[in-house]
Structure 1
Amino acid sequence: MRKYFLTGLLILVPLAITAWVLSMVIGTLDQSLMFVPQRWQPRTLIGFDIPGIGAILTLAIVFVTGLLTNNLVGKYIVRIGERLLKRIPVVSSLYGSVKQVSDTLFSSSGNAFRQAVLIPYPHADSWTIAFLTGIPGGDVKNHLVGEYVSVYVPTTPNPTSGFFLMMERSKVVELNMTVDAALKYIVSMGVVAPE
């Protein structure tokens, strides 16, 4: 009986967690309907809410924005808008930082998380998987003696939070592992080992 119960848990728990996460994401995206005038919302038009319509609307807006700004006129309008935002004191620093991070993470030519590495962390006798993010820059590199690299150490099981470290290149071991495989290994807390 215990065996069947555990087998059932192994089947249902991942499905339940996946459904829960999707429900949260779709629910959050459905809140984007509050920006749609009341007379155009599904509740007004047909008498009830349609789950997921906000998610579809959000995805459509993101796609159309990408489509419109992927030509000369769209790029020109974006440049004008960015110049305007850079002249607003508080907005310029916030927008600039977010833009730089998003360009690095979402750009197809970016180098964020392109290489999984093994580093000694949190002390010399233990090791963890991290991601190579580049090399130290600015005034930081003037204070580091030797060759250093920047790495991101994700936390387990939530890799969206973690630590940013600068380490000597000689202490960083490059892994023959894809970033996806390394993330699965981290999220599973070492249970799903890469091939």
Structure 2
Amino acid sequence: MKKGIRTYLVTGLLVWVPLGITVFLIGFMVDFVDRALLVIPEQYRPDTLLGFHIPGIGLLLVLIILFLTGLLAANFFGRKLVKLWERALNRIPLVRSIYSASKTFAEVVLTDSTDSFKEVLLIEYPRKGLYSLCFQTGTNLGEIQSRTGEQVVCVFVPTTPNPTSGVMIIVPRKDVVSLDMEIEEAVKMVVSLGVVVPHWPGEGLDAVAERISDNNKPEQPAVAKDWPQP
């Protein structure tokens, strides 16, 4: 009885906790953007112009600004302006490093222009016999591919529970194992410290253990046949 009550309570928490966190974060983001509008002179604020307060108006304005910026940067004239802006930022030592790293990260995460994070792999890392989840980030490695003399891939091994940090490793293609799980499923597994494991319809743990046990059994010696007497 107690076990059943505990199960129902945990199930209820699993339903409400993610929903509560989502609502809290969205509310925090909307409130944060609305407060950012306080830097605008009072006579030009949306509340003053409209005559009443609209929750989330700041977030709406940010989305509109992002859309207009993207629309401008997508044409020839806009691209020229962006290049001039980046050229100016690249002349400032500290700003140049931060901006360059931020731009590279944004391009990898927000665009589909590369084949990064398109496949979940398994490699033996940090030593032989230990396995780590990783994401393939590139296959066309140019000079590295030529110097190694074999097909290699670039992978990103995330840390847990924060998958945004990790290490980049270049490994031979023959040493990686391709997995069927989706990128999102692998990220959930990393964040949950391995507690949330994606469902896989293949053979279960018992079948794998039985197969390994059969492979490790010593071979039986051949039994001599009883030949008929002449």
TM range (shorter): 0.7 to 0.9
Residues 127/29 of structure 1: CA separation in 2 closer, same or farther (3 Å cut): farther
Residues 96/137 of structure 1: CA separation in 2 closer, same or farther (3 Å cut): farther
Alignment RMSD (CA, Å): 3.3
Hey, what does 1:191 align to over in structure 2?
Answer: 196
C-alpha distance in 1, partners of 2:52/2:144?
A: 57
Question: 1:130 Cα deviation (Å)?
Answer: 0.9
The reply to whether residue 108 of structure 1 matches residue 102 of structure 2 is no
C-alpha distance in 2, partners of 1:97/1:190?
A: 32
Corresponding residue to 2:168 among 139, 146, 164: 164
The reply to whether residue 16 of structure 1 matches residue 2 of structure 2 is no
Query: In structure 1, what residue type is equivalent to 2:82?
Result: V
Q: Which has the higher contact order (CA 8 A, sep 6+)?
A: 1
Tell me, yes or no, if the aligned pair for 2:158 and 2:164 is still in contact at 8 Å: yes
SS in 2 for 1:109: coil
Query: In structure 2, what residue type is equivalent to 1:182?
Result: A
C-alpha distance in 2, partners of 1:68/1:5?
A: 51
TM-score (norm. length: structure 1): 0.77
Question: 1:84 Cα deviation (Å)?
Answer: 2.7
TM-score (norm. length: structure 2): 0.67
Query: In structure 1, what residue type is equivalent to 2:62?
Result: T
Any residues of structure 2 matched to 1:81-120 within 5 Å, and which? 81-120=85-124
Hey, what does 1:152 align to over in structure 2?
Answer: 156
Alignment: residue pair count:
195
Tell me, yes or no, if the aligned pair for 2:189 and 2:196 is still in contact at 8 Å: yes
Please say which structure displays the higher CA radius of gyration: 2
C-alpha distance in 1, partners of 2:58/2:48?
A: 15
C-alpha distance in 2, partners of 1:136/1:86?
A: 27
C-alpha distance in 2, partners of 1:78/1:170?
A: 42
Query: In structure 2, what residue type is equivalent to 1:2?
Result: R
SS in 2 for 1:181: helix
Structure 2, unaligned runs of 5 or more: 201-230
C-alpha distance in 1, partners of 2:28/2:162?
A: 16
C-alpha distance in 2, partners of 1:163/1:183?
A: 15
Query: In structure 2, what residue type is equivalent to 1:174?
Result: S
Question: 1:133 Cα deviation (Å)?
Answer: 1.1
